[in-house]
Structure 1
Amino acid sequence: MNLGLSKVIRSNFIQINPVNKMIINTKNILDPKWIAGFTSGEGNFDINIHKSKNKIGFQVQLRFRIYQNERDIQLIKLLIKYFGAGKIEKQLEKQMVNLTIVKFSDIINIIIPFFEKNYLHGVKQLDFLDWCKVANLMKSKIHHTPEGLELIYSIKSGINRSRK
């Protein structure tokens, strides 16, 4: 929905003129439960594993992200201000912006406690709980072992779009 109608649909309905979405200029976020609900629909708890020059050859990184159309950049700025963490990443080709938090101390000290207190809904809660398992493995430094990395791959393979 945030990306608008696909080219195929637009080409089949050329007589239809889409209505522009109103820009909402929210000044602040008053309710943390709103953030939890919004994250349930728009957020992502991601586990990124990439090659590294460390001793096991891979690095694990947790990412918390919320994607929005670029017209809603003010909301992303408010979320960064609210959490006191994160940065804006732009995807120009898709007209998207996203809040991205990757700093491990911010994830451990801000994001995890926030969502432990402000419950997520639906499958997103299950993704969050699995993401927290990986955070705990990382806190224990188990991700620096082949067995720990294998366990993290296993958890990663069952979250987000891969959850069955």
Structure 2
Amino acid sequence: VIIYINLKMIRYENNSQAANWFVTGLTDAEGCFYVSITKNAQFKTGWKVLAFFEIHIHKKDIDLLRFVQDQLGGVGRVVPNGKNAYSFRVNSLKDVLNNIVPHFDNYPLISQKLADFLLWKKVLIKMQNGEHLTDAGIKEIVNIRATINTGLSSALKAGFPQANPVTRPLIENQSIPHEAWLSGFTSGEGSFLIRMGKSLTKIGYRIQLVFTISQHVRDEKLLKSFIDYLGCGNYRAYSNRELGDYICTNFEDIYTKIIPFFNKHPILGVKSKDFMDWVKAAEHIQNKEHLTQEGLNKTFAIKSNMNKGR
């Protein structure tokens, strides 16, 4: 595992408000609020309930998970989770109630994930009151679970055929609360790309820088809000997938708006390395170096080491 300890993390550690909003932004991108209900004969009801918080990302970003863990009071564990991935997970009811819930009450999520958090919090309150140990309480928790994330599993549908999903909270009028929220969100869902295609120019290739942030179409309004917030870009929907993009390809906007924003409000983790390489490519374009074979070769080299090539 490569360790990334850099001045950008230290900058956030010295600014608690920015660090907290960064954590919320990253959670809006990569976090999940789980309610697990499994058969267990050791419980009077026959069911065991567990509520936990998790952020799941590639193993290259294990230091980013540790940063989040530190910001949330050092609770939970950073553990391997699948091939080439790690999770930061908090499943102690005490830690969830004392550390996780207060954080997101004070620094609220703004994506549709906020609805999952609000429902999850209702389950936590029931667990705190011991209701998950009663038949009536289990049924109420199942009704809430039916509305969180992807709904009920086949086992839960079979175990609770009369389940009646609660109404999902309506999340509207989201607005970015702090610059660090967008930095955190981009650290999770953003992409810095270099497109290279053949052209009729003397050098034979054209280069285009692309900045995108992808999210489920249910957060279309949130993605569209980035256009006004950053003063550039467009929204793109996919006809064959439930996915939308905020996308910026205009070089002047990238050079004068996107790059200065993230220089001032840094991305963390491996994606920050991609951003720094992307900025190098932008400087080549700004200085017209990409119009020479030598400059083109430099850009090729930068591109090959970015993203999955890193």
TM-score, with structure 1 as normaliser: 0.85
1:36 paired residue number: 183
* SS of structure 1 residue aligned to 2:294: helix
Contact 1:23 1:71 in 2 (8 A): no
C-alpha spacing 1:52/1:22, structure 2 compared with 1 (3 Å): farther
Residue 30 of structure 1, CA deviation = 2.1
Residue 25 of structure 1, CA deviation = 1.9
2:49 paired residue number: none
2:42 paired residue number: none
Query: Highest Rg: 1 or 2?
Result: 2
Partner letter of residue 86 of structure 1? G
- Asked if 1:107 corresponds to 2:257, the answer is no
- Asked if 1:128 corresponds to 2:299, the answer is no
| 1:1-164 equivalence runs, <5 A | 24-163=171-310
Residue 27 of structure 1, CA deviation = 3.1
Percent of pairs with identical residues:
39
C-alpha spacing 1:116/1:51, structure 2 compared with 1 (3 Å): same
Per-residue Cα deviation, 1:55-74 (whole angstroms, up to 9, x for no partner): 11110000000001111101
Per-residue Cα deviation, 1:60-111 (whole angstroms, up to 9, x for no partner): 0000000011111011111111011001111121211101101011001100
Contact 1:23 1:72 in 2 (8 A): no
* SS of structure 2 residue aligned to 1:93: coil
Gaps of 5+ in 2: 1-28, 31-149, 158-164
Contact 1:80 1:87 in 2 (8 A): yes
Partner letter of residue 94 of structure 1? R
Equivalent-residue separation in structure 2 for 1:21 and 1:41 (angstroms): 25
C-alpha spacing 1:23/1:41, structure 2 compared with 1 (3 Å): farther
Equivalent-residue separation in structure 2 for 1:32 and 1:161 (angstroms): 27
C-alpha spacing 1:63/1:22, structure 2 compared with 1 (3 Å): farther
Equivalent-residue separation in structure 2 for 1:22 and 1:146 (angstroms): 56
1:7 paired residue number: none
- Between 101-110 and 21-30, the greater mean CA deviation after superposition: 21-30
Equivalent-residue separation in structure 1 for 2:269 and 2:252 (angstroms): 26
Per-residue Cα deviation, 1:137-158 (whole angstroms, up to 9, x for no partner): 0011010111111111110011
Equivalent-residue separation in structure 1 for 2:205 and 2:285 (angstroms): 13
Residue 51 of structure 1, CA deviation = 1.1
Contact 1:65 1:98 in 2 (8 A): yes
Ranges of 4+ aligned residues in structure 1 off by more than 4 Å: 13-17, 19-23
Equivalent-residue separation in structure 2 for 1:21 and 1:121 (angstroms): 32
Q: Which structure ranks higher in relative contact order (CA pairs < 8 Å, sequence separation ≥ 6)?
A: 1
C-alpha spacing 1:16/1:140, structure 2 compared with 1 (3 Å): farther
